[in-house]
Amino acid sequence: MPADATLTSLWLAGLTALVLIPVGVAAGRALAMNDFPGKGVVETLVLLPLILPPTVLGYYLLVALAPANPIGQAIAALFGGSLAFTFEGILIASLIANLPFAIQPIQRSFEAIPENVREAAWVSGLSRLQTLWRIELPLAWPGIVTAAALVIAHTLGEFGVILMVGGNIPGETQTLSIAIYDRLQAFQEREAATISIILLVASLAALAVVHATTGRRKTRGRGA
Amino acid sequence: MRPRRNAISTDTGRWLTRRGVLGLGAGAAAASAFGGRQALASTHLTIAAAANLRMIMPELLASFADTNAGMAPRVSFGASGNLARQIVQGAPFDVFLSADRARVDIVAKQQPGLKRATFAEGRLALLVRQGLRITASDDLSGLSRAIADGRIKRFAIANPQHAPFGMAAQAALETSGVWDGLKGRLAFGENVAQAAQFVVSGNADAALVALSLAMSPDVASRTTYAAVSPKLHAPLKQEMALIRPDKPAADAFFAFMLSAPAQAILAKSGYAGANEG
């Protein structure tokens, strides 16, 4: 099993989840609890990466990161070099591609919290922050766990945009999904098969986590 | 009125850009801080190599390590056209081993004064899947008969758009008059190694690929092959370029590829030497 690709994949999945889960909680809660003009547009934009072909995202990222472009120049000045074909580059791609997986489940779980539960908390003397921490987050927890599992599983599996933005550089941008493609072309079917089984098991594990947490929410709902 | 509106929209644009950069910066800074990956990257020698070199690269790297220990080279394989595009777009490669001259020209256009040299001449081979018999001849006449009697349902070559071995394969098929007969039966590999993989896995009946791939034990044990006459296509003069002359390891590898040990490995692996042909 390729240690380099495993490490790259785990870093990418871990960092993507670490950055996106707080974003998902903030954005998901804001979308669930507020109505504002243009909300439909925001929700559409959040969902876009789910439908958008990864190659389209890859194309626009390459255009944006290119040294010929003002954004690319600003980034190059900031980091001392272009981010295309670097780990940081595929991290940016991964953050955008995973936005819907982070926000959607969390938004749904905040929407499922009845308004009167929060009102009851305030009447009982809890501040808004305490209400968030002690009432809302525990109730939204299944959505947050689901989001984390989906983000990690989806990051491990992402292929098109990573290949386009990252190239196929071992130890830098070669993730496990890319390694399958790479090993097959090196006529190392056995190694490709090993990595494939690992990713299959990881996907099943992520779905099991989702199933277990959403299942628990249902029974709890019935009891209440 | 118009200038004012423009001023406002430019301001907004700048603000958005700055915000965007800050956002990206936070994420990337986190990535760099976690594990000091940047430092790791700068000590590595990163080579971009055409896919035809895939199977002999381990041997070349082992020989390089004999005289240059501790440089930990890592190699990214791909079609030369894609690798050249990645280099132009800022990919962190130190040396580029191309399958032809034209792809090095693309890089040279951006980096005037680029140090470059021919390190080998590539050759084509007809690769045939297990269980299918095609009379081996270097002029592809056996292939022509196999196409005519319907034994070839899928034929693979590397994508001629960005893979030099794909271009050479197309030229050889055209020269020998079988290109039109293959219409509708062609499968394009993203690079020449993928084209070979199509035959190894049995998904294509035959392919025109790099001789070096066909000769490698992993491929030869599961296929049959015959070298193709180099007269059927323009010579595949394989050039390399020193992308990062400031890196001693890159300079050392560039010199190594022209040295006797490297040239001996290439010569026994299906390449004509740098100065032959």
pLDDT tens-digit series, residues A107-121: 999 999 999 999 999
Quick one: pLDDT at residue A77? 85
Option in B51, B91, B200 nearest A85 (CB): B91
Count of alpha carbons within 13 angstroms of residue A76, beta-carbon side: 18
Judged by CB atoms closer than 8 Å, whether chains meet at B27 and A62 is answered as: no
Question: Region A36-57: what's the mean pLDDT?
Answer: 94
Report the candidate in A105, A132, A111 with the shortest Cα–Cα distance to residue A121.
Answer: A132
Of the partner residues B27, B76, B193, the one whose CB lies closest to the CB of residue A19 = B27
What are the pLDDT digits (tens) for A58-110? 999 988 888 778 888 888 888 877 788 999 999 999 999 999 999 999 999 99
Q: What is the per-residue pLDDT across B3-19, written as a single tens digit (0 to 9) for each? A: 343 333 334 344 344 33
State whether residue A186 sits within 8 Å of chain B by CB.
Answer: yes
Instruction: Provide the shortest C-alpha distance from residue B261 to chain A (in Å).
Output: 23
Q: What is the pLDDT of residue A218?
A: 53
Q: What Å distances lie between residue A35 and A40, A115, A120, B226, CA to CA?
A: 10, 14, 21, 70
Task: Work out the minimum CA distance from B149 to partner chain A, whole angstroms.
Answer: 30
pLDDT tens for the 277 residues of chain B, in order: 333 433 333 343 443 443 344 444 444 444 444 444 444 445 689 999 999 999 999 999 999 999 888 888 999 999 999 999 999 988 999 999 999 999 999 999 999 999 999 999 999 999 999 889 888 777 899 999 999 999 999 999 999 999 999 999 999 999 999 999 998 999 999 999 999 999 999 999 999 999 999 999 999 999 999 999 999 999 999 999 999 999 999 999 999 999 999 999 999 999 986 665 4
| A125: helix, strand or coil | coil
> What is the structure's pLDDT at B13?
40
Nearest neighbour of A187 by CB, restricted to B31, B77, B218: B218
Pick from B91, B200, B201: which is nearest to A167 by CB? Answer: B91
The verdict on a CB contact (< 8 Å) between B31 and A82 is no
Asked whether the beta carbons of residue A170 and residue B76 sit closer than 8 angstroms, the reply is yes
The DSSP string of A42-100 is HHHHHHHHHHS-HHHHHHHHHHHHSTTSHHHHHHHHHHTS--TTSHHHHHHHHHHHTHH
Touching B: A residues 74-103, CB under 8 Å: 74-76, 78-79, 81-88, 91-92, 95
- The answer to whether residue A15 scores a pLDDT higher than 70 is yes
